[in-house]
Every structure is written in C-alpha cells, then in structure tokens.
Structure 1
Amino acid sequence: MTARRITVVAERVVVAVFCLVALASCAGTVSPGSPGHAGGSPDVVAAAAIALEAPRSEPAPALSVGATVPAGTVALPTGAFSDRLRLRDVTITGHAVTARLDVASDVRELIDLEVRADFYDADGRFLSSNRQIFRARDAEMFHTTSGVVGLPISVPGPATGARSAVLSVPVLVNGQRA
C-alpha cells in the first residue's frame, strides 16, 4: 500500500470516528416521567419489534395445483391481509381473473395494493403469473364511510390455456383517512 493510500484510509477512519463520537454525544437521555420518555410502553415495544422484522418475500407460485383448484375456479388462500380485506364476485374468464375488493376492517385509505394471480392449465400446471397494482388515486372513488368498497380487480392472464387461478394480495398499505 502506498503512503498516499494509507493517508486516505487514515483520514476516512478519523472522519468515521469523529462522526460516531458526535452522534453519541447528541444521543442524550430523557428522564422517566418527562414528555419524551417511552418507558418501554407496549406501543414502543411493538413498534420496535416490527421495525426489526426482516421484510418477507411473497411465496413463489405452486408449479402444480392438481385437483386442489379445479378448472373454472379461483382459489383464495389465507394470507397476511385476509383479516383486513374481502374479495367477492371472483371469477376466471378466458383471459383474466376478475373480482371486487373491499377493505372494511376500519375506515382506511388505500395507499398501495398489489393483487397477484397465478394461472394454471386444465391439468393444474402453472402457466404464468401477473399482477394488478393500485395506488391511492386508483381507489379514491371507491372510498366510503365503511372503507374501500367494490374496487374492481382485473388481472390479465395468458392469451390461451388458463383454466384456473390462485388469487393473492402480497402488498396492502393503508392508512387512516383524514
């Protein structure tokens, strides 16, 4: 290593140490009973646990569904958001899965939603996947006092051969309406 390279590395180490010392001195403490003290409240503990969770990736589509999803049907597996939404009027047509979606767990604003459909042939073999993505503006006209009601879903499938599907919701982000 050249002398110049050693100098550059040393300067970076000094800057990093300086930044760490500066951050540590700014951390400060808050006394119990003061407005900024969390005191290990259940909300803080729960938030910390969620913040530390690694993001989960959605499961890959099954290579075959065999007789578990008969031709002409759409399966709705229980997922992470099953308790917060309802899919109704679910059908598979020649080239798409269609449905209506309600988010009625409480009065919420839909911020981000992804609906995924995995398509299978008449023998239950996987053909392809596709998804429909919604942003807040896409769902605005479906907001009611009961939440989001009747949001139309239409996930396009392969041009030919789709006889059954599995419909899932890998992403749902909602918030309190103002």
Structure 2
Amino acid sequence: MKLFLAPALAVAALLAGCAAPAPSETATPQPASVQTQLPGLTAPSGEPDLPSLADAHPQPGQAVRAAGPFDNRFEIDGLAFDGQKVTGSVRITSDVSDLLELVVVAGFYDAAGTLLGTARFEHHAEGDAGHGHVGPPSETEEFSITVPADATGKAVSVAVGVPVLVNE
C-alpha cells in the first residue's frame, strides 16, 4: 500500500501547485474615487447664446445665418423675415436620427445694422421620443421667432443660428 500512496501524494502535491490563485490576487483594482469636477471649468449659466450675432450686421430686409458651433450638422431652409417674425426650418444633415434638443437664436437689427435684441425657439423631445417610434426619424424642425417687444417697429433685418443641437 505504501507504494501506491507515495505516487498519489506526489500527484496531489503537483496539482496543488497548479491551482488557481485566490480571487483577491486576480481582482481588478477599483479606482478610489472618480473626479466629477474639473479645476478651472465653470458650469454655464443663463441661456445658450451666439457670440457671432454681435458681428452679423445684416443689411435692411435681410435674413441671414449667423455662425454657430454646429454649422456642419444642419442647413436652414426657407429663412424669411416679414418685420414681425423670422421663420424657417432646421434640416439635420449630419446623420439620420431623431432630434432631441434644438435652440435657434435670432438677433434682430435696426437699419444701421445694430443688434436690438434676441429671441429664441426651443425644441425639447418629450420623454422617450425617438426610442420606440414608428417610421423614419424626424430630420427637419420648423421654427418661428417673433421680434421682441422692445425691438418691434425698429427691427428691419435678422440673423439666426443654432447654439444647441442634440440628436441621437
């Protein structure tokens, strides 16, 4: 019996050396903390705006597009100004997906090209819009922005741009 016991003990000793390490030795270390604030970066306050409106200076009767951060992702079609409101539509060109958030800002100008004031159009998706819809995604959003009360009767031109554009 001793002859059979010695080889079995030797095999058991070899197998014990091949055993998997304890879970604590292979566990991936977890970060101690996650940084959620970045030094020197302040949260925005107020409504999104377009600095380019200050430099637009459209000619009387003009409705023009002001530069913004998302200009390569959309087109503005049918832009028109009747002295009371500016209308048009934003057509998404960057991809085909539902529109979740959109802000169109209009700057209204007097005959000298001086900025009189701004107003905005906002589109906010409702709840789960775009998740579980039937049919093709919405790629176009029509907008209408009325001249602010303090610029009524003085505004003769307009510039519009998009400071917020979020789609799926």
Following TM superposition, the consecutive aligned residue runs of length 4 or more in structure 1 with deviations greater than 3 angstroms are 51-61, 147-150
Identity among equivalent pairs (%):
27
Q: Residue by residue, what CA displacement relative to the aligned partner does 1:36-66 show, whole Å, maximum 9, x if unpaired?
A: xxxxxxxxxxxxxxx999577644441772x
> Where does 1:8-157 land on structure 2 (aligned, <5 Å)?
26-27=30-31, 58-60=49-51, 61-62=53-54, 65=57, 69-137=58-126, 145=136, 147-157=137-147
Which of 145, 156, 161 lines up with 1:168 in the alignment? 161
For the aligned residue pairs, the C-alpha RMSD in angstroms reads 3.1
Report the TM-score when normalising by structure 2: 0.61
Q: Is the 8 A contact 2:62 2:157 kept in 1?
A: yes
Structure 1 unaligned spans of 5+: 1-24, 29-50
For residues 61 and 135 of structure 2, what CA distance do their matches in structure 1 show?
Answer: 32
Report the TM-score when normalising by structure 1: 0.58
| Greater helix content | 1
Pairs aligned (count): 122
Higher Cα radius of gyration: 2
Q: Given the superposition, is the C-alpha separation of residues 157 and 100 from structure 1 closer, same or farther in structure 2, using an over 3 Å criterion?
A: same
